[in-house]
Amino acid sequence: MTTTNNVILTHTEINHKIRRIAFQIYENNVNENEVILAGIDSNGYILAKKLKTALSKISDIKPILCKVSIDKKNPSSKIKTSISATDYKNKSLVLIDDVLNSGTTLIYGVKHFLDVPLKQFKTAVLVNRNHKKYPVKADFKGISLSTSLHEHVSVVLEGKNFKAVLE
């Protein structure tokens, strides 16, 4: 069986999506002094770093990065964050990942942050696929795709040629 790789987002398009999501985060947090950008390791964290840069350019809100480490093969195992719970308690938080597939990673990430009171909790993804097995949604998304279960979306956010590819 041969597979064809279709670029669904180019470098320029990804940069536009990042900027648009940054504006949406700003609009939702316009009265906040800071917002926690919690990126799921690894691509979600890279996306969070890019959103931090974009948000810093368009607003006075101080974005605080948080790396969220989830074992994607065993998401119910202990989740680690690069900042302590006291650092995000009663703050506005956005949980970020590159692709929302089944929702497993995002739902366990959401569950982790629910143990601490938050002022506001939103989710952001670059690509939202419509195959969720959990009732989780992306509040901010770059693009929504209806794909078959056999297809895979991979995102490259490093180097000089970002892209999202449907395989």
pLDDT of residue 99: 93
Give the CB-side neighbour count of residue 67, counting CA atoms within 13 A: 7
Asked whether residue 1 is assigned to any structural domain, the reply reads: no
Asked whether residue 80 is assigned to any structural domain, the reply reads: yes
Query: Both tokens of residue 160?
Result: 């000089």
Could you tell me if 41 and 79 are in contact, meaning their C-beta atoms sit under 8 angstroms apart?
Answer: no
Question: Is residue 154 predicted with pLDDT exceeding 50?
Answer: yes
- Measured in whole angstroms, the distance separating CA 29 from the mean position of its chain's CA atoms is 17
Q: Is 13 exposed, middle or buried (0-12, 13-18, 19+ CB in 10 A)?
A: middle
Model confidence, pTM: 0.92
| pLDDT per position as a tens digit, 107-120 | 999 999 999 999 99
| Number of domains into which the chain is organized | 1
| pLDDT per position as a tens digit, 33-56 | 999 999 999 899 999 999 999 999
Task: For residues 164 and 6, give the distance between their C-alpha atoms in angstroms, rounded to a whole number.
Answer: 8
Residue-number span of the structural domain to which 77 is assigned:
6-166
The domain that holds 140 is classified in CATH as 3.40.50.2020
